[in-house]
Amino acid sequence: MTNVLEAVFAILIFPGGLFVLALGLLLKGVDRKVVARLQRRVGPPLYQPALDIIKLMTKETLIPDTANEVAFRLAPVLGLTGMLVTAALLPIGGVWNGVTGLGDLLVLLYLLPIPAMGLMLAGGSSSSPYGALGFSREMCMMFAYEMPLIASFLAVAVRVGGASGPFLSLPAIMDYQFQHGPLLLDPVMLPAALALVLFIPGTMGHGLFDIPEAEPEVIEGPLLEYSGPLLAVFHLMSAVKLVVVLELAVALLCPNPLVAAGGGGVLVNLLWHICKCLVLLMVSVTCFRAATGRLRLDQGFSFFVKYTSPLALVSLWLAFLLR
Amino acid sequence: MLQFLSKLAARSPWIYRINAGSCNGCDVEMATTALIPRYDVERLGCKYCGSPRHADVVLISGPLTLRVRDKVLRVYNEIPHPKVTVAVGVCPVSGGCFRDGYTVGADIDHYIPLDVIVPGCPPRPQAIMEGVLKAVEIWRARLEESVCSHS
Which domains occur in chain B, in start order? 2-150 (3.40.50.12280)
CB contact under 8 A, B51 and A36: no
Q: B37 vs A39: CB contact, 8 Å cut-off? A: yes
**B35 pLDDT band (50/70/90 cuts)?**
low
Residues of A in contact with B80 (CB under 8 A): 59-62, 227-228
Check A51 against B11: CB less than 8 A apart.
Answer: yes
pLDDT at B138 over 60: yes
3-state secondary structure chain B: CHHHHHHHHCCCCEEEEEECCCCCHHHHHHHHHHCCCCCCHHHHCCEECCCHHHCCEEEEECCCEHHHHHHHHHHHHCCCCCCEEEEECCHHHHCHHHCCCCCECCCHHHCCCCCEEECCCCCCHHHHHHHHHHHHHHHHHHHHHHHHHHC
Residue of A nearest to B8 (CA): A51
Whole-angstrom distance, CA of residue B39 vs CA of residue B41:
6
Chain A contacts of B50, Cβ < 8 Å?
215-216, 219-220, 224
Q: Which long-range contacts (CB under 8 A, 24 or more apart) does A276-283 make?
A: A276/A250, A277/A23, A277/A27, A277/A243, A277/A246, A277/A247, A277/A250, A278/A27, A278/A30, A280/A197, A280/A200, A280/A246, A280/A249, A280/A250, A281/A27, A281/A30, A281/A31, A281/A242, A281/A246, A282/A34, A283/A197
How close, in Å, is residue A32 to chain B by CA atoms?
9
B chain contacts of residue A34, beta-carbon cutoff 8 Å:
none
For an interface test with B, give the residue of A38, A48, A59 to mutate (most B CBs within 10 A): A59
Give the C-alpha separation, A52 to A29, whole Å: 11
How do residues B105-129 score in pLDDT, each as one tens digit? Answer: 777 778 888 889 888 888 888 888 8
The model's pTM is 0.86
pLDDT given at position B64: 84
Closest CA in chain B for residue A47: B45
Residues of B contacting chain A (CB within 8 angstroms): 5-6, 8-14, 37, 40, 42-45, 47-51, 53-54, 56, 78, 80-82, 143, 146-147
pLDDT at B37: 67
- CA A122 to chain B, closest CA, distance in angstroms equals 14
pLDDT of residue A27: 92
Phi-psi label, residue A52: left if phi above 0, alpha if psi -120 to 50, beta otherwise? alpha
Task: Going residue by residue through chain A, which has 323 residues, state the pLDDT in tens, using 9 for 90 and above.
Answer: 567 777 777 777 777 778 888 899 999 999 988 988 888 888 888 888 998 898 888 888 888 888 788 888 888 998 898 888 888 888 887 677 766 666 778 888 888 889 888 888 888 888 888 888 888 888 888 888 888 898 888 888 888 877 776 777 787 888 788 788 787 778 888 888 889 888 888 888 887 777 777 777 767 778 888 888 888 999 999 999 999 999 888 888 887 777 666 666 778 888 888 888 899 999 888 888 888 888 888 888 888 888 888 988 998 888 888 87
pLDDT at B30 over 80: yes
Chain A residues touching B42 at Cβ < 8 A: 32, 36, 41-44
Cross-chain residue pair B80–A59, CB shorter than 8 Å: yes
